[in-house]
Amino acid sequence: MAEPKDTVQTENFKGYTNTSCEFFPCHQGVKPEEFNCLFCYCPLSFLECPGPYKVFTDKNGNVRKDCSDCTLPHRGIKKSWNFIQHWLENPKPWSREADKVAPINLYNPTVPMLSLDIAALVGSTPV
């Protein structure tokens, strides 16, 4: 059975840029004319992903991701659509472990953070 996206002539459904948003531009390093706002709330936030997220513990003791430094779901309409689709093909729940970075506690920010080499990760991801 064909999916709705297979029945249209354009790729407009893959994203848009909302320059009237109060927070635009919300991520540095992405050209405004290439910015995809479709994934403002990233569908990968509860899944394993290659993004440069930080791990923190909220005031209720829940371990969470801070993805505010990630531009992968916003970098170009078609490119970001393909990136998200690729990672949703075989979704893996996020383990909530600090396997990429040292966990930080926003209420005790003295815990150091490690950096992540996103270029190495993105280079192996077809987008």
| The pLDDT value given to residue 72 | 92
**Rounded Cα gap, residues 47 and 94, in angstroms:** 4
Is 105 part of any domain? yes
- C-alpha atoms less than 13 angstroms from C-alpha of 111 in its C-beta half-sphere: 13
Q: Is residue 3 part of a domain?
A: no
39, part of any domain:
no
Answer whether residue 34 is part of any domain.
no
62 domain residue, yes or no: yes
Question: Can you say whether the dihedral through the CA atoms of 122, 3, 47, 95 is positive or negative?
Answer: negative
Query: In this predicted structure, what is the pLDDT of residue 39?
Result: 92
Per-residue model confidence (pLDDT) at position 98: 55
Whole domain around residue 123: which residue ranges?
Answer: 51-127
Within 10 angstroms of residue 44's Cβ, the number of other Cβ atoms is 22
Instruction: Please list the residues that pair with 35 across neighbouring strands.
Output: 75
Q: pTM of whole model > 0.75?
A: no
In a domain, 35, yes or no: no
Residue 48 near residue 94, CB atoms below 8 Å: yes
Residue 83 lies in a domain: yes
Tens digit of pLDDT at every position of the chain (127 positions): 777 777 778 888 899 999 999 998 888 889 999 999 999 999 999 999 988 889 999 999 888 999 888 999 999 999 999 999 999 999 999 988 755 544 443 444 443 333 334 343 344 444 3
Q: What is the pLDDT of residue 106?
A: 40
Number of separate domains in the chain: 1
